[in-house]
Structure 1
Amino acid sequence: LGFACDEGVKRNQGRTGAAGAPDVLRKALANLASHDGHNRLVDLGNIVAQAPDLEGAQQALRNAVQRCQQENMRTFVLGGGHETAFAHGAGVLDAFPQAKVGIVNFDAHLDLRKAEQATSGTPFRQLAPLCDEQQREFHYACIGVSRAANTQAPWAEAQRLGVTVVEDLHCDTAQAQLAQFIANLDVIYL
């Protein structure tokens, strides 16, 4: 699924251009050699976010992911900015209401910003209250976090939420921490 969206990045005062990413990424991936199993891949096109309606586009992506997951299709979303993570994660949570779902993010940023509206810096902070609404635990691990890329506020939020954090300077411990994190989970959103 493509998520052609600049609105989350724009709201986060970032550089726009992410809306063109799904088609650029498809073009780049098309040049890779194909081996066994690629006949299972299905391109479901792009969900296009019409500014300023990020929330409407996120809901459309969330619904598409939920439907795919319920049909036993793995989903791979080509963004857009990191605002794709909320919609993709919410769709996975919706598809598996009884499962222990874990979220694994490889990123220098925690993306736990507090903001008045959704941005590319808020997706995991948005997923935490969704887990509360669904009466489930919030299981989030962020691997490769940089002290230089996050203010104190997201660090405090990560601690409050019990996030598993592996800093970029300590990735040598990531495999063991990740194994411990996923040991008791049913589904993983990566």
Structure 2
Amino acid sequence: MIWQGRFDGEEPLFHRVFQRVREENNYDNISTDDFVLHGFAVDEGVKRNKGRVGAKDAPDVIRKNMSNFPVTLPDFSLLDFGNITCEDQDLENTQSILAEKVSKALSKGGKSLVLGGGHEVTFAHYSGVRKAFPDKKIGIINIDAHFDNRQPENGVGASSGTGFWQIAQEGDIHSLHMAIQRNSNTLKLFDTAHQFGMKYILADELFFENLPSVYQRIDDLLDEVDVVYVTICMDVFNASIAPGVSASAYNGIFADATFMHFYRHILKSQKLVALDVAEVNPSYDIQDRTARLAACLVNEWLMI
């Protein structure tokens, strides 16, 4: 059993997340403001992107690390719809399946939470948001060292690095990419970002004294869109706190006060309807550090 933790009592003041999770398969049982969880147990896109596979095993490990967090809101409810897996290496069909499930959850008034899996989850999750809100302007905040706007290779298809290229093919893109690393993106990828109108903040710009400017950049995006989707690639973090990823970063950012200030600023937006964490790779993790960090980041949304 994945959802288990310390039991202190049945009274609501004692509750931890595992006591408020309900495993579900009927989307008609979703109520407004329920958190609706899907696991994207897929890393076919990482494989296609020539990365280190293993992220498909992450959703259950992240669940385990979420279980024991205290519940802080009286009406908190989390519905777990299980994992989606990739059959016969058919990533495109798997992405469509997740998109359909996310759309159902959002159409019922739920808040979509997805545990990756590789960052190929981005196109799938975004597609579900777009399906649920076809007439809304969708904003994406991507906390990642990479733009993930690579054009798919002939004969390979979509991958964990092509999500924003795919999104841009469907129309105007409204995105803010935070913690972009200069040494992790070629000039071609920077050029593509400019061509698509992808706004970004370099990792070097994320320091405490610069928070007013960071807040303004976030607010500029929030003001111009109707709904917001946040995606976090765990390889954005320093290898010392997130060793279990496909592409570890010696100079990645830390989940320090600066990060938590702007991250919570994003989470407080009433426009936020969907969030995912991607690229946790348990095969390379140490003492569940990366999975635990991912769980903590998810839990921040559960407490807002």
Report what 1:185 is aligned to: 225
Q: Which one of the candidate residues 102, 107, 128 is aligned to 1:91?
A: 128
Report what 2:78 is aligned to: 41
Distance 1:38-1:124 versus aligned 2 partners, 3 A rule: farther
Q: Counterparts of 2:137 and 2:65 in 1: how far apart (Å)?
A: 35
Residue 176 in structure 1 maps to residue 216 in structure 2:
yes
Q: Which one of the candidate residues 168, 171, 175 is aligned to 1:128?
A: 168
Report what 2:55 is aligned to: 18
Q: Which one of the candidate residues 44, 61, 65 is aligned to 2:98?
A: 61
Report what 2:190 is aligned to: 155
Q: Which one of the candidate residues 32, 38, 42 is aligned to 2:69?
A: 32
Q: Counterparts of 1:61 and 1:69 in 2: how far apart (Å)?
A: 12
How many pairs are equivalent? Answer: 185
Asked if the contact 1:143/1:174 (under 8 Å) is kept, the reply is no
Q: Secondary structure at the match of 1:109?
A: coil
Residue 140 in structure 1 maps to residue 175 in structure 2:
yes
State the shift of 1:35 in Å.
Answer: 2.5
Q: Which AA in structure 2 matches 1:154?
A: L
Q: Secondary structure at the match of 1:85?
A: helix
Q: Which AA in structure 1 matches 2:129?
A: V
Q: Which AA in structure 1 matches 2:123?
A: F
Q: Counterparts of 2:185 and 2:75 in 1: how far apart (Å)?
A: 38
State the shift of 1:140 in Å.
Answer: 1.2
Q: Counterparts of 1:65 and 1:37 in 2: how far apart (Å)?
A: 25
Q: Counterparts of 2:152 and 2:67 in 1: how far apart (Å)?
A: 37
State the shift of 1:38 in Å.
Answer: 6.5
Q: Counterparts of 1:62 and 1:70 in 2: how far apart (Å)?
A: 12
Q: Counterparts of 1:75 and 1:51 in 2: how far apart (Å)?
A: 26
Q: Counterparts of 2:149 and 2:74 in 1: how far apart (Å)?
A: 36
Q: Counterparts of 1:115 and 1:122 in 2: how far apart (Å)?
A: 6
Question: 14-23 or 39-48: which moved more?
Answer: 39-48
TM-score (norm 2): 0.59
Q: Secondary structure at the match of 1:77?
A: strand
Structure 1's unaligned 5+ residue stretches are: none
Q: Counterparts of 1:112 and 1:169 in 2: how far apart (Å)?
A: 21
State the shift of 1:58 in Å.
Answer: 0.4
Asked if the contact 1:142/1:163 (under 8 Å) is kept, the reply is yes
Q: Counterparts of 1:59 and 1:38 in 2: how far apart (Å)?
A: 31
Question: 73-82 or 177-186: which moved more?
Answer: 177-186
Distance 1:162-1:41 versus aligned 2 partners, 3 A rule: same
Report what 2:249 is aligned to: none
Greater CA radius of gyration, 1 or 2? 2
State the shift of 1:37 in Å.
Answer: 4.5
Q: Counterparts of 1:37 and 1:95 in 2: how far apart (Å)?
A: 27
Q: Counterparts of 1:63 and 1:50 in 2: how far apart (Å)?
A: 17
Q: Secondary structure at the match of 2:113?
A: coil
Residue 108 in structure 1 maps to residue 145 in structure 2:
yes
Residue 82 in structure 1 maps to residue 119 in structure 2:
yes
State the shift of 1:185 in Å.
Answer: 1.1
Q: Counterparts of 1:6 and 1:185 in 2: how far apart (Å)?
A: 30
Asked if the contact 1:62/1:87 (under 8 Å) is kept, the reply is yes
CA RMSD of aligned residues (A): 1.2
Structure 2's unaligned 5+ residue stretches are: 1-37, 231-304
State the shift of 1:51 in Å.
Answer: 4.0
Q: Secondary structure at the match of 2:146?
A: coil
